[in-house]
Amino acid sequence: MSLLIIGKNGFLGKSISLTCQLLKINYFSFSREDWKHFLKHEPSKWLKDNGVTTIIFAAGYSKRFKTFEINSIKEPSLLSKCLSLNLRLVYLSSSLVYGKQKNESLSSLKENLICSPTGEYGFYKKIIEDFVLSHNSQNCVLRLSSCIGNEKSSGLLKVINEKVVQTSGKFIEMMHANTTRDYLYIENASKMIIEIANNKDCSGIFNIGSGKGYSVDYIIREFEKFYNLKPRKIKFGKQMEEDPLKHVLNMSKTNGYLNKTLKKEIFEQNQIKLYLSKNKK
């Protein structure tokens, strides 16, 4: 039994491939271009001969976008070809599909909630999810929280590093509001993804996150402590229209499919402190 990872050069795909290697799990990994070339030959025979039973699709569009950019997104055609092979497929989606819940006091987001995406990206991902799940009852959709790691060139932690570590001044001025998010270090995300992908009993939707909420002001203070910086006052901006104030994943369903060692390893860790310790220069 082997896994096939599509998107080996991306932030997630690269980490999943490396984690498979470290855990000595049989796998193959292709870039998008590798996959296009591969499909020109006899893909079904090769997959069967090499014992590939599950495809992890990590080549999806991973950035927020506006409607005028839709024609540049090539994911659907690539995904449809993967689905046509009729293997079990694990699709890496985003927790942004949940959008803003009517009851914003919800402590955490469960997979059975009605999704109400408010931005183009979340709406798009929800449509792709439905497409994947309707194609094969064995397929999985993994809704990932915000994955963090030193190779990610964008995101809140990059902004905080610039504002807190690289910039001096009386205040720390943040563009957006003091929201709370679920963050998960990339290596932990990869281990969880592989655990679900290797379990044939897993199908449907699963959350992939830490189950903990980290507010922006908390993260800023952790950066200050880590770099031995004097705390400064923080000025926050307005809440982004498409983002909820609190966005934390309920991990009870996913936890039921993780081994005890992995659960302890991941959920007893502070993901922000882990990120800082891994990225110490």
102-143, pLDDT tens digit by residue? 765 555 899 999 998 888 889 999 999 999 999 999 999 999
d(CA 112, CA 145) in angstroms, rounded, equals 16
Of 163, 45, 141, the closest CA to residue 88 belongs to: 141
Q: What is the pTM of this model?
A: 0.92
Q: Which pLDDT tens digit goes with each residue over 179-226?
A: 999 999 999 999 999 999 999 999 999 999 999 999 999 999 999 999
Q: What's CA 104's distance to the chain center, in Å? A: 22
Cβ atoms within 10 Å, residue 249: 27
Q: What is the pLDDT of residue 33?
A: 85
Q: Across all residues in the chain, what is the average pLDDT?
A: 90
Please check whether residue 144 is in contact with residue 95, taking contact to mean a CB–CB distance below 8 angstroms. yes
Residue 153: partners with Cβ closer than 8 Å, 6 or more residues away: none
Enter the tokens of residue 186: 């990339």
Please check whether residue 262 is in contact with residue 192, taking contact to mean a CB–CB distance below 8 angstroms. yes
Partners of 109 in the beta sheet?
249
Q: Which pLDDT tens digit goes with each residue over 44-83?
A: 999 999 999 999 999 877 666 666 666 666 677 888 888 9
